[in-house]
Chains A and B, each alone.
Chain A
C-alpha cells in the first residue's frame, strides 16, 4: 500500500515536472521556448547604439512607429546567411504598402566592419531606404543584443558560425512580438500584417 501511494506521488510530481519543463507540452527545444516566450510576452528592445553600412549611427528607437523585421547575420557566411539575405531580398520586394515596415540585418561577427556591411548590402540588393545592415560598436552591446534576442552563436566546422537564425518581428512600439522562420517568407509577411 505504501509502495502504491508513493508510486502515485512520484507520478504526480514527475508529470508536473515534465509539464513545466515543456511549457505545458508545447515546447521541446530552446528555440521553441524562445518563440513561445516572445509571442506570449513581447519584450522591449535594448537601446544599444548601432552603426550601419554607411557608418551612420542608428538605434532601434529610430524605428518608432514603424514595424521592423530583424535578422542576425554575419557577412562571411557562405551558406545559411546567404539564404537569410535572400529572404530579406524577397521580403523587400513584397513589403506591405503603407505600413512603413523596414528591414534591419544585424551582424554578430565582431570582425565585420562597415565595408563588409556595405558589401553585404550590395550583394543582396538592399535598398537603403528600406533595408539597413548594422553592427553594434561595442562587444558589451553585442552581448546585450544576443541576450535580449536569445541568439545562440556557435562555431561551425568551416570557420564560420551556426546560430538559431530566424526573422524577428518588432512592432510599431519597438517590442519584439514574434519570431518566425526565414523561409518561406510568407510567414514573416503574415506576421507583419497580423502582429504589428
Chain B
C-alpha cells in the first residue's frame, strides 16, 4: 500500500546532470584544456567558472538535503575559490599535473557543488551579500592584475595579465547590471520567501 501511495522517486538522468558531465568532459579534453589555459582570461574567466558550473549543476540536485548547512557550504565555496585565485596555485595547476588534477576535482566539488546546493536555501540577504562581495572581488582582482608592475604568474605574459585585468572589470560591470536588473525587474516576491532560518 505504501509503495502505491508513496512511490519511490524516479531516478532518471536529468538534463542538468548530463549537461554537467558533457561540460566537464569538454573542459578536460586536452585541446580545450590547453587552449583555455594558454591565456589568463581563458583559464580564470572561462575554464574555472565553467568547472564551477559543472559542480553547481550537480550540487543543485541536493539542495533539499543540506539541512541547516547552507551558510557553511557557502563558506566552503568562498574559501575554495579564494584559494584558486592565489596566483601561485594557478601557476601550479599549469606546471604540475597533480595540482591540475586537484583543480579539476576541487573546483566542481568545493566551489561549484556547495554553491549550487546552498543557493536556493539562502535568504535574499545572504544572496545579496554573495553578489556584492563576489563582484567587488572581481573588480579588485581586475585592478590587481592591471596595476601589477611585474608578472604575477610565471606561466603568463605581462600583457595577458593586463588583458585579464580589464576583462575582469568588464565582467564585474556585466554582473552588476545583471544583478541589479534582476533585483529591480525580477520576480522578487518569490525570492524573498526562501530563507534558511534554523
Which A positions have Cβ atoms within 8 angstroms of B?
Answer: 1-4, 6-7, 9-11, 13-15, 17-18, 21-22, 27-33, 152, 154, 156-157, 162-164
Q: What secondary structure prevails in chain A residues at the interface with B?
A: helix
Sample of 15 A–B contacts (CB below 8 Å)? A1-B198, A3-B70, A3-B71, A3-B72, A6-B72, A7-B72, A10-B79, A17-B79, A21-B89, A29-B87, A30-B92, A154-B155, A154-B157, A157-B157, A164-B154
Contacts A2-B68, A30-B87; is A10 near B154 (CB within 8 Å)? no
* Chain A: CB-nearest residue to B79: A14
User: Does B176 sit at the interface, judged by CB under 8 A?
Assistant: no
Chain A residues whose C-beta falls within 8 Å of the C-beta of B156 in the assembled complex: 154
* A residues near B7, Cβ cutoff 8 Å: none
B129 within 8 A of A: no
Q: Give Cα A164 to B87, complex, Å.
A: 14
The answer to whether B153 has its CB under 8 Å from any CB of chain A is yes
A33 CB to closest chain B CB (Å) equals 6
Q: Given A17-B79, A29-B153, A156-B157, decide whether A6 and B69 contact each other with a Cβ distance below 8 A.
A: yes
Q: Please name all residues of chain A whose beta carbon is closer than 8 Å to the beta carbon of B79 when the two chains form the complex.
A: 10, 13-15, 17-18
* Given the contacts A30-B91, A30-B154, A157-B157, A17 and B83 also touching, CB distance less than 8 Å: yes
Cβ < 8 Å to A, chain B residues 55-76 = 67-72, 75-76
B19 within 8 Å of A by Cβ? no
Which of A9, A11, A28 has most chain B Cβ within 10 Å?
Answer: A28
A20 (CB) vs chain B CBs: closest residue? B83
Question: Shortest distance in angstroms between A112's beta carbon and chain B's nearest beta carbon?
Answer: 21
CA distance A9 to B76 in the complex (A): 10
Which of A18, A32, A163 is the one whose CB lies under 8 Å from B83? A18
A152 and B87: CB pair below 8 A? no
Say whether, besides A1-B198, A29-B87, A14 and B78 are in contact (CB < 8 Å). yes
Give the docked Cα–Cα distance between A15 and B82 (Å).
10
Q: Report the bound CA distance from A191 to B103 in whole Å.
A: 37
Contact, CB under 8 Å: A28 / B157:
no
A-B pairs, 4 with minimum CB distance: A14-B79, A3-B68, A152-B154, A6-B72
Contacts of B75 on A, CB cut-off 8 Å? 7, 10-11, 14
B117 to chain A, nearest CB (A): 13
Among B88, B157, B198: residue with most chain A CB under 10 A: B88
Quick check: A33 and B88 within 8 Å, CB to CB? yes
Q: Complex Cα distance A154/B88, Å?
A: 16
B86 within 8 A of A: yes
Chain A CB within 8 A of B152 CB:
yes
Closest to B67 in A: A2
Q: Please state if A22 and B72 are interface contacts (CB–CB under 8 Å).
A: no
CA distance A6 to B154 in the complex (A): 37
Contact mask for chain B residues 157-172; partner A; CB cutoff 8 A; 1 contact, 0 none: 1110000000000000
Contacts of B91 in A (CB 8 A): 29-30, 152
Quick one: given A2-B67, A14-B79, A156-B157, are A32 and B72 in contact (CB under 8 Å)? no
Q: Is B95 an interface residue (CB 8 A)?
A: yes
B151 proximal to A (CB < 8 A): yes
Q: How far is the CB of B67 from chain A (nearest CB, A)?
A: 7
Picked from B69, B86, B95, B154, the residue with its CB within 8 Å of the CB of A31 is: B154
